[in-house]
Amino acid sequence: MRFISNCLLVMLLVAGTACSSSPKYKPDPSVTQNKAHKAYSDLDQETGTSHVNQRDVRRGDLDRTSQIPSETPTTTPSIMVVPSQGDAPMSKAMMESINAYLTNKHYEVKSLEGQAQLDDVIKMQNDIANTDDDLSYLASLALGADIYVKFSGAMQTDNVTVEVSAYETSTGRLLGSQTAEVKNNGHVNQTNLRANAQSAARKAMPNLEQKILAYWKADLAKGAQYKVVMNLKGEYSDTQIEDLQEFVVRALKNTFNSVTMNVMTDKTMDMVVYADPHRYGDSQEVYSQIRNLLKSVAETKKINITKKLILMDLR
C-alpha cells in the first residue's frame, strides 16, 4: 500500500513539473462559441424559450440601421411654373430661370404650350362648378402637375425683387412663399435687368424648394391625392340628393385612406381623395374603384381624367 502511495506521489510531481514548463493551452474561440450555441439550442428545445447571441443582436441592429430610409422622399413632385401676371416684365426670363433650377434638380417640369392645351383648360374651367377663375390652378390639373409655382417680379432702379409661391394642385392650398432681391447698381439696360431677374429667381428657389419637399414628404404619408368632381345629372328630390351624397361620402371614406370635401351642392360634389399608391397606381384605377362602389345606386360617366383630376357624372 505504501508503495502504491509513493508511486502516485511521484506521478503528481512529474505532472506538475510538465504543466509549469509547457506553454498554457489557449482554447479555440470558435469551438467555444459552437458549444455555447449548441447549449442554447438544447435549452430552447427543453424550455420553449429563445436565446439570442448578443453579438448577433448588435450585428442585426447595424443591418437594420443601414436599411433606414433617408429623410429625402423617394419620389419628387411634378411642378408647373406660371407667372402671377401674364404680361409682367421679364416674365420669360424668370420662368426660364426657375424651370432650369427645377430641371437641374431632376423634377418633372410641366409647361402649358399651344392653343390646344389652353382650350382644354378653358373647357375644364367651364365643366367644373364653383371654382375660382385661376387659370394656373386649372392648367396644373389639366397637365397633371402635383404642385404649381407662381412668380412675380418688380424692377426698380436700385434692385430687382422676385417673389415665388408654391401651391398644392388638388386644393389650391398655399405651401409657402419666398422673396429674393438682387442689386442693380444703377444698371437698368435690358440685358442687365434680365440677368438680375434670373439671378433673383434662382436665389429664391432653394428656400421655396425646402417648403415644397416638407409638404411632399408629409403628404406622401397620407396617400396619393386626387381631385374628384362629381356632377349630379337627372331629376332628384332633395331627399334623394342627400341620400346619394351620404352614400358616396361613406363609401369613399370606407375605401380610401381619407376624403376631404371641398364643395357640396345639389348639383356638384368636389372633394380630394387620398388613395394608397400601392393599391391604386393612377387616377384611372381610382376612378374604376369609385365606379364599382357606386354601381348599385347610380350610373357613372367619365368626363375627363388627368394625373390629378377625375371629372365624372352621376345619373
In CATH, 223-314 is 3.30.1360 = yes
Residue at grid coordinates 382644354:
120
The answer to whether residues 259 and 271 touch, using CB atoms and an 8 Å cutoff, is: yes
Strands 300-305 and 268-275: unpaired
Could you tell me where in the chain the CATH 3.30.1360 domains are found? 223-314
The CATH class, in words, for 78-221 is alpha beta
24 pLDDT band, cuts 50/70/90, is: very low
- For residue 87, give the DSSP letter: T
- The pTM score is 0.66
Task: State the pLDDT confidence band at 43, using cuts at 50, 70 and 90.
Answer: very low
Residue ranges, comma separated, of all CATH 3.40.50 domains in the chain are: 78-221
State the Cα angle at 23 between 19 and 24, rounded to 5°: 75
Residue with cell 372633394: 271
pLDDT tens-digit map of 165-219: 999 988 888 999 999 999 987 777 888 888 999 999 999 999 999 999 999 888 8
Q: Where are the alpha helices (DSSP H) in 105-237?
A: 115-127, 135-143, 190-222
Q: Which helix (H) or strand (E) holds 110?
A: strand 108-110
Q: Which grid cell sits at 273?
A: 381623395
Which tens digits make up the pLDDT trace of 209-245? 999 999 988 888 899 999 999 999 988 899 999 999 9
Residue-wise pLDDT for 136-154, tens only, equals: 777 777 778 899 999 999 8
